[in-house]
Amino acid sequence: MGNVLLNKIYSFLLLFTLLMNVGCATIYQQQKKKMNENYYEGIQLYKKGNYAQAKERFETVLSIDPEHTGARQYLIITTEALQRRAQKYYDAGMNYKRKGDLENALLQFLEAEKRDPGYKDVKTQIANIRNSNYAQKKYDNYFTTAKKQFDKKEYIAAYKSANKAELYNPDSLELATLKTRINNQLDNASYPYTSKAEEARKKNKFEAAKTYCNKALKVNPWDEKARNILKDINRMENLNEMYANGEKAYSKGDLIAAYRLFKRVDNEEPGYRNTSNYLSTIKSKLEGNINTYYNNGVTYYEQDNFEAAIAEWDKVLLIDPDHQKAREYRERAVAKLELQKTLR
């Protein structure tokens, strides 16, 4: 009886251990996939100059793998790019301040703060302007104007004046209350259009939905629902275009371009149309080329042609994100390429 019980306990522990290992492996693969996707998205965003979004992607990668060399290097150069932009706005703010134009100075300092909250003394510059007598007078003027415009049912003008008042005193409770009242009136004016836009969007009648959204934004330029519907329509139209371009590339035999496009579609909208089948078919055809792409990259690397090398290893990692040698070589090439650029 005792042996039977021990065998049952042993079997249970064995099963439990196997399930835990499978679960851990699944979580590991999911995290690895998330890390790779964020890394390559970050690179693309960096190349497009979207540094703030790129920085978020690289920080996500490093939260998963703090030793990820490529993400660490890109985070440094992305942060530096943001600081350069912050400097541009900070310098403009100082110029306006010297001329006595405190409103434009404040606007520029706020833009600098968005790019780099810790840049120089930007927070102090903002606080000094907001605590000045000039700021109090401007706030009182804009707030009084907004109230009068609200009473006259000039809601768009009232909201604009309230926003200018907020520039000088973002913590004002009376202003927050007034803005809520104005916003309610604006929402009431745009609701009939946004509700029709939503119905049209659900039926994939994109042009009709866009027309209704534009009407909503005409009576309420700050209608978030209308903006989100337009954003979603734009996303779907881009998705349709990417999918169509993927099919064209596939039919022309440009499998790398097709695979990239279908991967983007799949990341944006998993299960979209026939994307999964295309990805599976193309991957099976490309897997035989991995060694060629990898060796091409090594050849270019040894010739100091780092851009061409990176392009080849990108192909490898597109097909096999777990190809460690390609990843390591690519990280070295990125570092050397950045060094090349600084020495030019």
C-beta of residue 213 within 8 angstroms of C-beta of residue 192: no
State the burial class of residue 165 (Cβ atoms within 10 Å of its Cβ: 0-12, 13-18, 19+): buried
Instruction: Please tell me the distance from the alpha carbon of residue 207 to that of residue 141, in angstroms, as a whole number.
Output: 42
Locus of tokens 């100091």: 304
Question: Which class is 27-131 in CATH?
Answer: mainly alpha
Instruction: Please tell me the distance from the alpha carbon of residue 51 to that of residue 42, in angstroms, as a whole number.
Output: 9
C-beta of residue 316 within 8 angstroms of C-beta of residue 333: no
Same fold, 27-131 and 134-251: yes
SS3 category, 175 = helix
Secondary structure, 3-state, the chain:
CHHHHHHHHHHHHHHHHHHHHHHHHHHHHHHHHHHHHHHHHHHHHHHCCCHHHHHHHHHHHHHHCCCCHHHHHHHHHHHHHHHHHHHHHHHHHHHHHHCCCHHHHHHHHHHHHHHCCCCCCHHHHHHHHHCCHHHHHHHHHHHHHHHHHHHCCCHHHHHHHHHHHHHHCCCCHHHHHHHHHHHHHHHHHHHHHHHHHHHHHHCCCHHHHHHHHHHHHHHCCCCHHHHHHHHHHHHHHHHHHHHHHHHHHHHHCCHHHHHHHHHHHHHHCCCCCCHHHHHHHHHHHHHHHHHHHHHHHHHHHHCCCHHHHHHHHHHHHHHCCCCHHHHHHHHHHHHHHHHHHHHC
Q: What is the pLDDT along the chain (344 residues), one digit of tens a residue?
A: 555 556 656 665 665 565 555 555 566 677 887 888 888 888 888 888 888 888 889 999 999 888 888 888 898 988 888 888 899 999 999 999 999 999 999 999 999 998 888 889 999 999 999 999 999 999 999 999 999 999 999 999 999 999 999 999 999 999 999 999 999 999 999 999 999 999 999 999 999 999 999 999 999 999 999 999 999 999 999 999 999 999 999 999 999 999 999 998 998 888 899 999 999 999 999 999 999 999 999 999 999 899 999 999 999 999 998 899 998 888 888 888 877 776 66
CATH topology for 134-251 is 1.25.40
For the chain, give every domain's residue range.
Answer: 27-131, 134-251
